[in-house]
Amino acid sequence: MRMLVVDAFTDRPFAGNPAGVCLLDQAAQRTSEAGSDWMQRVAAEMKHSETAFVRPIDAPDAEFELRWFTPVVEVALCGHATLASAHALYETGVAPADQPIRFRTLRSGVLTVTRVEDGGLLMDFPACPPAETEAPDDLGEALGTTPFWTGRNSQNDLLVLVADEEAVRKLAPDIAALGRMDARGIIVTATADPGQGYDFVSRFFGARVLLGDGEDPVTGSAHCALGPYWGAELGRDRLVGFQASERGGQVGVTLRGDRVELRGRAVTVLDGEFKA
């Protein structure tokens, strides 16, 4: 089976967020070797924050089925691996360049990705706005900085507002402590410094589902919460976010009612055959 590694939310290799993309055919998906357990083992082998599995389907509402796995669990929604999957389908010629791609997912409905004129990709995702909630008692200590506002959304992510961009960039949290909190992940955010080409900054820590330091380099699904939050704060429906991880990546966000359009670019860094 063909396997690609794609750096998402970037226009250059070795930046953004890498995702594995496994292109299945319909016959392979019907075999036991391409079931959920096999996909989880492949994701554990790849060790990316997410590995996506794509197969063609014959359905009126979608052309492909899409599933995402971290090295530990299957997840309900993943932005960067969706972007990577669409990029892989367009680049390999599996999907026509002039037509949108519709992905059927298990828990996030049908997601549509469209290729735009500048070579970027536009993804239509559900909005997941956070509602204000009481911060866990040890959140500030675990992050090493003061939370000014905390919200929780339907993805069970905690969104944490901190003082400024410098506070976001300098975070060195206690990942084990964050992993003990009731949350899929912790999104830490602040307004951008003046004069930047983006409106807000963020970082995402998913200690329960990611290996190593628990940080996801660029998280599309987090922007389903960040977009509505900063749209309300800044009074705008078009924004640009920068995820200030070591690799870094930029995500364009447009608010459309209960949907969020996420925009980004992607680069293939590996294209090969998976033998197992």
Write down the pLDDT at residue 32: 42
98-131 as b/e, with b when 16 or more CB fall inside 10 Å?
A: eeebbbbbeebeebbbbbeeeebbbbbbebbbbe
Q: What is the residue type of 156? A: N
Residue 141 confidence (pLDDT):
97
Over the chain (276 residues), the average pLDDT of each successive run of 10 is 96 96 73 77 94 96 96 92 98 95 95 91 97 96 97 96 98 93 95 96 88 88 97 98 96 97 97 88
Looking at residue 28, what is its pLDDT? 55
Q: 33, 50, 91, 261: which is the annotated catalytic residue?
A: 50
pLDDT in tens, 75-120: 999 999 999 999 999 999 999 999 999 999 999 999 999 999 888 9
pLDDT of 117 reads 81
Q: Quick one: pLDDT at residue 27?
A: 52
Instruction: Render pLDDT for 111-146 as a digit per residue (tens, 0 to 9).
Output: 999 999 888 999 999 999 999 999 999 999 999 999
pLDDT at residue 47 in the model: 92
What is the pLDDT at residue 30?
46
- Confidence at residue 31, expressed as pLDDT on a 0 to 100 scale: 43
Burial degree of 247 (CB within 10 A; 0-12, 13-18, 19+): middle
* Sequence-ordered list of residues with C-beta below 8 angstroms from that of 202, at least 6 positions apart, any chain: 168, 187, 188, 189, 219, 222, 223, 226, 241, 242, 243, 244
Is 50 an annotated catalytic residue?
Answer: yes
